[in-house]
Every structure is written in structure tokens, then in C-alpha cells.
Amino acid sequence: MGQLNAGIVPVTPFQQNCTILFDMDDKRGVVVDPGGDIDKVLAVLRDNAITAEAIWITHGHIDHAGGAMELKEALGIEIIGPHEADKMLLDNLENQGRRYGIDGVRNCVPDRFLAEGETVSFGGHVFEVLHCPGHAPGHVVYYNRAAKFAHVGDVLFRGSVGRTDLPGGDHAALIASIKDKLLPLGDDIGFICGHGPGGRFGEERRTNPFLT
């Protein structure tokens, strides 16, 4: 097993961080949140000789899951996640696309929903699944304990937190997810989020105005 690495491909008009997690030695990995622009995602995989073994979804919003079915068919791989509480969002992605004027969006049917306490992996890289509702009811976070790394989707951002004014949003639940599940993992945990730059939990605990 080689070093865990990550590459970010900004996709959709929302500039969502579609993330390719992969092993540096065997170049096998997963694609997290392919919200759209699938030709761009496929080109990055091809140009870097990375073999994607699965698609992992953090939650059911259009910019995170809108291109998942297209990528699944292009690569012949499974869609894993999010939590089943986001099924209603995944079933209405095409309606979201029409509302935002985004073409090519398809409703997403995961091969497997996830629950708190499960694990997912590729190669020897094991990620714990944390159910972190608030931004979306079925939002999950993928945490790799060995690498001290988490993909937090739209739960937490550098200096901010996920919005809660969308259907199924709950600000109190979001803050509880961050304070009860993420921050206790440790100040030294690095994270990639759904939009913008990542950071470390310790910096957010000390300076994020939504958490202090």
C-alpha cells in the first residue's frame, strides 16, 4: 500500500470539488462527488493513469451527485453512499437541474447506501463513515484515521459551515455534527471540503466564527 493522495477537479457552475482519492503506488482509487463535467473527470483519470474502483457520494445535492450515473456507466463501477436519508434528493436531481438551468443531470440510484459506523475502502486505505446531517439529511463524511484525513463534503468549510436553508437543512443538527463528530477526531485532522480550500480541524475549532 502506497501513500494516500488526492486530486481536485472543480466541476459544475458551483465549482464543486470533485475529488479523486488514490494510492500513489498502484494508482487505484475512487471518485468522490462527481457532480458534473464528467468528460473533465474522465480526462484527469486517463491523463494520470488512475483506475477508479468506485464512486463515493457525500450527499444528494446536484453539484455533488448530478453526474454520478454518467460516470458509473462510463467506467462500469458502483455508486456508494450517501446515507439513505438523502434518497429523496437523489430522486429529484433532474428537477434540480431544470431549476438551475443545468443540462445532463440524471437522478442518482446508489448501489449501496451507507450508515454511521460502516467502512469503505480501496486497496488498504480504509475510511470510516460518519453520518453528519444538517446541510442535507443523509450527508456522510469519509474519515481515514491512518492518514489523519477527512473528506467532509459541505458540512464544514475553511472559515464557514454548510448552508442550511435548502430542503432538509437543519442548522442545529449541522453544528452538532461538527462539534460532536468531527472536531473530537483531533486538531491535526486535515480535510477537503466540497467548495474552496481545505484546512485542519484545529484551525476551524479556534477561528471559525460559526463554531466559537
Tens of pLDDT, residues 103-130: 889 999 999 999 999 999 998 999 999 9
What is the rounded CA–CA span in Å between residue 53 and residue 76? 9
> Which pLDDT does position 104 carry in this prediction?
86
CA distance 129 to 8: 21
- Over its C-alpha atoms, the chain yields an Rg (Å, rounded) of 16
- Nearest partner of 102 among 70, 127, 78, 76, judged by Cα: 70
Provide the percentage of residues in the chain whose pLDDT is more than 90.
95
Say what the pLDDT of residue 52 is. Answer: 98
Conformational region of residue 196, where left means phi above 0, alpha means psi within -120 to 50, and beta covers everything else: left
pLDDT in tens, 64-99: 999 999 999 999 999 999 999 999 999 999 999 998
CA of 58: how far to CAs of 3, 77, 112, 187, 195, in Å? 23, 17, 13, 22, 13
What per-residue confidence (pLDDT) applies to 212?
A: 87
**In which element (H, E) is residue 82 found?**
strand 78-83
Mean pLDDT, residues 159-187: 97
Please name which of 113, 120, 52 lies closest in space to residue 87, comparing C-alpha atoms: 113
Q: What is the mean pLDDT of the chain?
A: 97
Residue 100 pLDDT more than 90? Answer: no
**Average confidence (pLDDT) over 35-52:** 98
